[in-house]
Structures are given as structure tokens and as C-alpha cells.
């Protein structure tokens, strides 16, 4: 049931996006480009993290490429975000679950602000992958996000 709702929400979002502009860059991207492959890999890892955390989520959102300043003129990094619903979850346990998930994948992991207003876990991997789970307890929300390494922009 939850997955069908998620699919319906995703479908509605796609319909709206298609009707009111959408993301032309995403539509034009070469699916075989290194950037497109990296985006798929990033999305898969974050979706796997969603499953591992077992939290209700909204459809993921691609974050369009931005320039890697001072890199090659047309190198870019893309991102991906998933908003999660923070119920009565034990935030310390969520942080540990996320940290364990990324450690098991060989990522370097840092947990920050355990007792602060916005606890978070960050993970990195060469040559420039970034992943994070950030908690916003007052809003009862969390965000999983990540970024790709700098790669040639297939649109350039």
C-alpha cells in the first residue's frame, strides 16, 4: 500500500512537472554519459538507504548539475534528495543505522551534532561522492541527500 501511494505521488509529480516546465536538462541527458551513470548510482544508494532506515519517504528529487568551480570548464556535480518523515523514531538509533549502512559500503563516516538541534551523519568516498542523513526533529522530518563526483557535463 505504501509503495502504491509512493508511486501515485511520483506519477502526480511527473505529470505536473511535464505540464509546467519540468527539467529539460534531465530530458536531454545522454543516459550513457558518466554523469548519468553516476546519478543512477547515487540514486540507487540513497534509495537503498531509505529501505534500510525503514522510514516513510517522498519521491526522490534530482538536483540538477552545478559547475565544479575551478575545475575543467564543463565539469559538473549532480545530486539527489529524499525527504523522510520522522515519526517517533529513536534519532540516535537512526544515526547509527545510517552510519552502519555506509560503513558497510566502505564509506568514511562522520556523525555530527548528536545532541544538537540538527543531528546528522555524513559519508564520503573517493573520488568525490558525498552522502548525508540529516535530522530535523522539531519538524519531524529528515533528509537523505548525496552528490556525485565532478564529471563532464554531457550537455556542454
Partner 1 sequence: MSGSGPRAAPGWVRRLWRAPAPRATLVGMLRHQRGQVTAEYVGMLLLVALIVGALVVAGPAQKIAGEAVRAVCQIAGGACTGAPAPPVDREAVARAAADLEGLLAGDPDPTAVAAFFRGLEPAVAEALAHERPELVGNLDGAPIPLRYTANAEAIDDEIARLRAAGVPDSDSRLRKLIELDDPDRRFLLFDPAGDGRAAEVFGDLTSARHVAVVVPGMNNDLNNFTGGDAERVHHQASQFDPDQVATIQWLGYDTPEGASALSSSDAKPGAEALPQFVAGIRAQRAERLHWTVVGHSYGSLVTGMAESGQGLEVDETVLIGSPGVGVNSADELGDGNVWVGLARFDPVGYSEWHGLNPHSRAFDATRFHTGDISGHSSYFNEGSESLRNIGLIAAGYLDEVNVNDGLF
Asked if 102 and 131 touch (Cβ cutoff 8 Å), the reply is: yes
Work out whether 34 is an interface residue with partner 1 (CB under 8 A).
no
Q: All 3 cell numbers of residue 44?
A: 540507487
Instruction: Please identify which residue in 37, 52, 83, 105 interacts with partner 1, judged by CB under 8 A.
Output: 83
Instruction: Give the 3-state DSSP-derived string for the chain, with helices as H, strands as E and coil as C.
Output: CHHHHHHHHHHHHHHHHHHCCCCHHHHHCCCCCHHHHHHHHHHHHHHHHHHHHCCCECCCEEEEEEECCCCCCCEEEEEEEEEEECCCCCHHHHHHHHHHHHHHCCCEEEEECCCCCCCEEEEEECCCEEEEEEEEHHHCEEEEEEECCCEECCCC
Work out whether 100 is an interface residue with partner 1 (CB under 8 A).
no
Work out whether 114 is an interface residue with partner 1 (CB under 8 A).
no
Q: Which stretch binds partner 1 (CB under 8 A): 33-41, 73-81, 91-99?
A: 73-81
Say how far apart CA 117 and CA 139 lie, in whole Å. 11
> Least Å distance between CB 151 and partner 1?
11
For partner 1, the closer of residues 76 and 95 by Cβ is 76
Instruction: Please identify which residue in 112, 114, 137, 140 interacts with partner 1, judged by CB under 8 A.
Output: 112
For partner 1, the closer of residues 41 and 136 by Cβ is 136
Work out whether 124 is an interface residue with partner 1 (CB under 8 A).
yes
Instruction: Please identify which residue in 16, 44, 48, 92 interacts with partner 1, judged by CB under 8 A.
Output: 16
Q: Mention every residue, 6+ apart, whose C-beta is less than 8 A from residue 125.
A: 105, 106, 107, 108
Q: Which stretch binds partner 1 (CB under 8 A): 30-38, 63-71, 91-99?
A: 63-71
Work out whether 68 is an interface residue with partner 1 (CB under 8 A).
yes
Say how far apart CA 107 and CA 53 lie, in whole Å. 17
**What is the contact surface with partner 1 in residues (CB under 8 A)?**
4-5, 8-9, 12-13, 15-17, 19-21, 24-25, 56, 58-59, 63-71, 73-81, 83, 85, 108, 110, 112-113, 116-118, 120, 122, 124, 126, 128, 130-132, 134, 136, 139, 143-147, 150, 155-156
Amino acid at each position: 500500500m505504501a509503495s502504491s501511494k509512493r508511486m501515485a505521488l511520483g506519477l502526480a509529480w511527473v505529470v505536473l512537472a511535464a505540464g509546467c516546465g519540468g527539467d529539460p536538462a534531465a530530458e536531454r541527458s545522454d543516459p550513457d554519459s558518466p554523469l548519468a551513470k553516476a546519478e543512477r548510482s547515487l540514486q540507487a544508494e540513497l534509495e537503498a538507504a531509505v529501505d534500510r532506515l525503514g522510514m516513510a519517504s517522498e519521491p526522490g528529487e534530482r538536483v540538477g548539475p552545478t559547475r565544479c568551480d575551478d575545475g575543467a570548464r564543463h565539469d559538473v556535480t549532480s545530486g539527489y534528495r529524499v525527504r523522510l518523515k520522522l515519526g517517533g523514531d529513536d534519532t540516535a538509533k537512526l544515526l547509527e543505522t545510517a552510519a552502519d549502512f555506509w560503513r558497510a559500503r566502505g564509506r568514511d563516516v562522520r556523525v555530527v551534532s548528536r545532541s544538537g538541534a540538527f543531528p546528522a551523519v555524513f559519508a564520503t568516498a573517493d573520488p568525490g561522492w558525498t552522502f548525508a542523513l540529516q535530522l530535523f526533529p522539531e519538524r519531524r522530518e529528515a533528509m537523505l541527500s548525496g552528490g556525485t563526483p565532478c564529471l563532464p557535463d554531457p550537455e556542454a
